[in-house]
Chains A and B, each alone.
Chain A
Amino acid sequence: MHLLEITGLTKSFGGLQALGGVDFHIDELEIVSVIGPNGAGKTTFFNTISGLVVPDEGRIVFEDEDIAGLEPSEITRRGIARTFQNVRLFPDMTILENVMVAQHCRTETGVWGALFNTPTFRNEERAIEERAKDILGFFGTRLTGYRFRQPAYVLSYANRRRLEIARAMGTMPRLLLLDEPTAGMNPKETAELTGLIRKLRDEKGFTIVVIEHEMRVVRDVSDRVVVLDHGVKIAEGSYDDVSSNPDVIEAYLGRPAEEGA
């Protein structure tokens, strides 16, 4: 049984078909890359899984349950977390708070606890903070120490991406969806992040789907690669298989002129 199994996922925006019946699956502790040219529907694929976009058709079965059409927060609670292609942090909240707020769905004290400052509430708050610090510690010293109390917007671009991953980790997911985690990073940072993605799986036990444009990263991290083009899966397999697949090359380089017409 797969951790996540998607069948016939379809989504259109007006007349434009962003996803045309995609089948997909991922197993526990796998890292799968989703690649494809711009506008292939990769982000839409993530959006439908995480519930931000309701699919027109198709089943998204996560741990034996069809989650298609659930509220995003419900899906997150079930154990799927994501990052965004265009980094969307809570810029005016502190770095620590960004990770703390992500634990919302894993904690439960409500109004009473907060009002009467109950022991449960205090313990939970302490636990939330500890866990957040712990998660941020995963990224070395970049997001720790004096950084805890700084607003998120002070961070450099690469650090924002890291914080976004940390925030996703804060929701304590089983499945992590990373949308172009290395976009805008320099080669050194990219290499480091590649290692980090593996570490996320090996040490933290996350199952990971990653959208990537950087082929080196794809090669280094993925157990399996899925290629989307115009909302359709055109290839799937190991990196080597996929990278030599003529359909994939064609999708990236464009069709030969005589066929294009």
Chain B
Amino acid sequence: MNQTVTRRSATDLDWDRVRRWGIYAGLTMAFLSSIGMVENLDKRIIVDPILSLGFLALLWVPVAFGYAATYEEAKEGMAAPEKGERDLVGGLVTGLIGGLFFVAFIAIADAVDLRGVFPRIGPALIDLLTFDRGVAIGSLLWLVISGLLGMFGGLLHVLPDRVRRAVTNALAAVFLVALVEIAVVDIFESLRLTVISDWIYAKNGGVTIAGAVVIAALAALSSVRSEGDAVVRFRTRYATMEGDERKRFNLIAGAVAVVLAVVLPMILGGLTNELLANVGLFLLMALGLNLVVGYAGLLDLGYVAFFAVGAYTTAILTSPLSPKWTPMLTLDFFSIEGWVVMVVVVAVAALSGLVVGTPVIRLRGDYLAIVTLGFGEIVRILFLSDWLAPAFGGAQGIRNIPAAVAGPVEINGTKPQTIFYVVVVFVGIAIYVAWRLYHSRIGRAWAALREDEDVAEAMGVETTKMKLLAFITGAILASFGGMIFAVKVGSVFPSSFKLIVSIIVLVIVIVGGMGSIPGVVVGSLVLIGILGGPTQPGLLAEFGEFKLLIYGALLVFMMLRRPEGLWPSVQRQRELHQEEILQDAWLKAEAADEEGKR
């Protein structure tokens, strides 16, 4: 450590901040309990007898808030903030204050019947929160637990990087393994390796203690051996790759993805396949929206309308129960008939993209967002209305959409594998389209109009045309999503096309990274894979009713903390690392000058 830093005593803390974060921690825990999270998620076990998801939903709080309360930013040009006992004390106190508030909550909930207002705060919750040992002992336990966890949060600052990484990775690995339980059991069953999965996972769900220890040890070991954060390192490398190298890497990654996409569904069971199909469906939409929002900079909140258009068009073209028109075509990907269906879907989507896009593209960005939202809702209500029910079936929608066909294979929702394959093909197409367009004259025009619309126009970019093109391409990709969705579910009805779908797709794009294809892939995997779509469960199916709450919180959190997303696009990476790049530029300029002199 720096010699000149005067040692600060263990109590030399920003007490105000500690108190504040402590209170936040207590309130957060109380809130999470009051909405029923602890109770509902208690059924899902993480580590067999000792930890359920419900308690995990509480226990992260003191850790995170203890960490936050003692976090000190390393300022440019200043001595790094000194770490030591004071962090432990800070974390501990934060945890204790949080615990105190939480205990007060438990006590009040026990003394007063709050069920009239908060239906979830009942005796069952109290019993759960006090470990069935009465309020007194339960409270004491919570104080201890919360204090210790808060201290652990503070400790994270003190540990050397390597150790900290080992600890966090070990914890994360255990959680992750518990998370993907369904998928892993699925795979191991089809590989006939149930011995291993039986050993890792307990009978009633969750990792066994022995399994957890081994996983944690493995994760810790592997991270101790590696340097720095692998993900971050990889991402920075990817961002700095030059043309050819990146192309090669993309090709390899693409090939791996294709192989995985072909092989995975074979070894996965129905549930996991279903899940992946959902991920793919949302990925398809997110890729489309990414084109509109990420590339062209148009915030479209009515994106679900195009999804609906695709689904309804498919339903009308194929279902025998379509109330008005019944061409009853078969969506056979290997025959003319199937192509007719697809061409019509594309045409209708493009047309609706044009119709929605034209009136809005002159609007300023935020008004555009609200108007598209309005359009999205209008479309849904019209599909729902009695007025248009003779054509679209009203609230019942259109049922009996037959399976799609590819050669001898029938594709429908009862065989999620087949859906998954179809989704993969279309995702592939979407990625290809987005990637090609981005690296073309059109992509450059989009980038320019996103950065400064007036100047782009003045430099000869037909901004209206380019915006419409983005709208239409996005609409077409979403309509493919709708088409597959219709086939998968076998029926379409208006309640599948609520605003929330648009919002979730937007969250995917933002969490992943606007304008970044890998980001969007990661975003859909993480969000839809774990939390699930608006009605589709993810790996943490128990989160069901809290999903939207989490999506909302996530959106806010990302905007405040990481607006560029998990895997930022190269351009946004540039925005973020302006300083480094500036420095770099300066060095290069020096070097070039030297060369010039010689």
Contact = CB atoms under 8 A, between A and B. Distances in A.
Interface of A: 50-52, 71-73, 76-77, 81-82, 84, 88-93, 97, 100-107, 109-111, 113-115, 117, 121, 124-125, 128, 141, 145-147, 149-151, 153-154, 167-168, 170-171
Contact of A93 (B441, B448, B469, B592): B448
Interface stretch (B108-116, B158-166, B523-531, B575-583): B575-583
Given A52-B457, A111-B473, A146-B592, 12 more contacts: A52-B454, A73-B462, A92-B575, A97-B447, A101-B444, A101-B447, A101-B456, A104-B444, A105-B460, A113-B440, A153-B578, A170-B459
Contact of B461 (A101, A145, A146, A153): A101
Given A73-B462, A102-B460, A154-B581, A93 B442 contact: no
B14 interface: no
Interface of B: 242, 432-433, 436-437, 439-445, 447-448, 451-452, 454-464, 469, 473, 571-572, 574-575, 578, 581-582, 585, 588, 592, 596
A93 B460 contact: no
A90 B452 contact: yes
B459 A104 contact: yes
Contact of A81 (B459, B462, B578): B459
Nearest to B458: A72
A252 to B, nearest CB: 30
23 contacts: A52-B457, A52-B458, A73-B458, A88-B455, A90-B447, A90-B451, A92-B571, A101-B445, A101-B447, A103-B441, A104-B448, A105-B461, A110-B442, A111-B437, A111-B442, A113-B440, A114-B436, A114-B440, A115-B437, A125-B440, A145-B592, A146-B592, A171-B459
A150 B452 contact: no
A93 B444 contact: yes
A85 B285 CA distance: 41
B291 to A, nearest CB: 12
Nearest to B445: A104
A97 B242 CA distance: 15
A111 B459 contact: no
Contacts of A109: 440-441
Nearest to B578: A153
Contact of B455 (A84, A100, A121, A125): A84
Given A105-B461, A114-B436, A141 B592 contact: yes
Q: Which 3 A-B pairs have the closest CB atoms?
A: A105-B460, A114-B440, A76-B460
A103 to B, nearest CB: 8
Contacts of B459: 73, 76, 81, 101-102, 104-105, 167-168, 170-171
Contacts of B455: 84, 88-90
Contacts of A121: 440
Contacts of B574: 92, 151
B398 to A, nearest CB: 32
Given A50-B458, A101-B461, A150-B581, A114 B442 contact: yes
Given A90-B455, A141-B592, A154-B582, A171 B437 contact: no
A151 B579 CA distance: 12
Contacts of B571: 92-93, 151
Contacts of A103: 441
